[in-house]
A = this chain, B = another copy of it.
Amino acid sequence: MARTIGSNGARTAEAIRQAGVKLIYKHGYEAMSLRQLAAEVGLQSGSLYKYFENKQNLLFDIVRDHMEDLLGKAEADLAGITDPLARLKTFSAFHLRYHMTRMAHVFIANMEIRSLEDEHRAVVVALRRRYEGLLEEILRQGAKDGVFQVREPKVATYAIISMLTGICMWYRPGGRLSQDELVEIYTGLVVNGATGPGAAAAKPFEANPLEAVTAQPRDGGTRAKPRAARPKAVRA
């Protein structure tokens, strides 16, 4: 057998891309074999090379395209909005919705950066920097205007993005809370964190050093029974 009836290059390319996202999301880039990927699409492994140069480039294409999409859509959403608080809410809502609807892509882009070769990683990191820069600039402007209480915009940027991105570690469509509700809850946390009085933070807080921990007996009998894992949920 050779060329199969009804076969079409563009369609196959898209199928490979989607299957790649799915398998990398499920098993990880290293763990996914090209034979697995080929089987998922209904091809022989050798035939994949009509559609990408090698395995590494498949990953790079997926991650780069995702990052460019993310950045472009964020900039589009923010366009025309000038008020820092409104921009912060817009950014937060955009980020959350995007991450709830494209969990696999986001997950891959965050987890598989280490699997990218140096040059490819540099490209992706640069895109991420630009994306982070959007939020950082919002925080800086808001601090300048006096509406935000942010001492370190860079740190706050990392903190906020980590928090928002974390939603795709546990969110599953059809859960108890709707996307809108989650956006409201998370955005509330972000806005409070940025606009808060800072009084609590400013109060000197004496933390126990990690070493000074005193041992304490833990109950050995009441550990929670693991429930059946929800499909595909990394957190489950």
Contact = CB atoms under 8 A, between A and B. Distances in A.
A202 to B, nearest CB: 7
Given A163-B163, A205-B184, A73 B210 contact: yes
A169 to B, nearest CB: 7
A201 B185 contact: yes
A4 interface: no
A185 B152 contact: yes
B77 A213 contact: yes
A115 B216 contact: no
Contacts of A198: 188, 192
Contact of A201 (B129, B192, B207): B192
A72 interface: yes
Given A76-B216, A125-B226, A129-B224, A192 B196 contact: yes
A53 interface: no
Given A30-B31, A76-B213, A166-B158, A234 B113 contact: yes
13 contacts: A71-B218, A72-B216, A76-B214, A89-B205, A98-B210, A113-B234, A123-B226, A127-B223, A129-B224, A158-B166, A158-B170, A159-B163, A195-B196
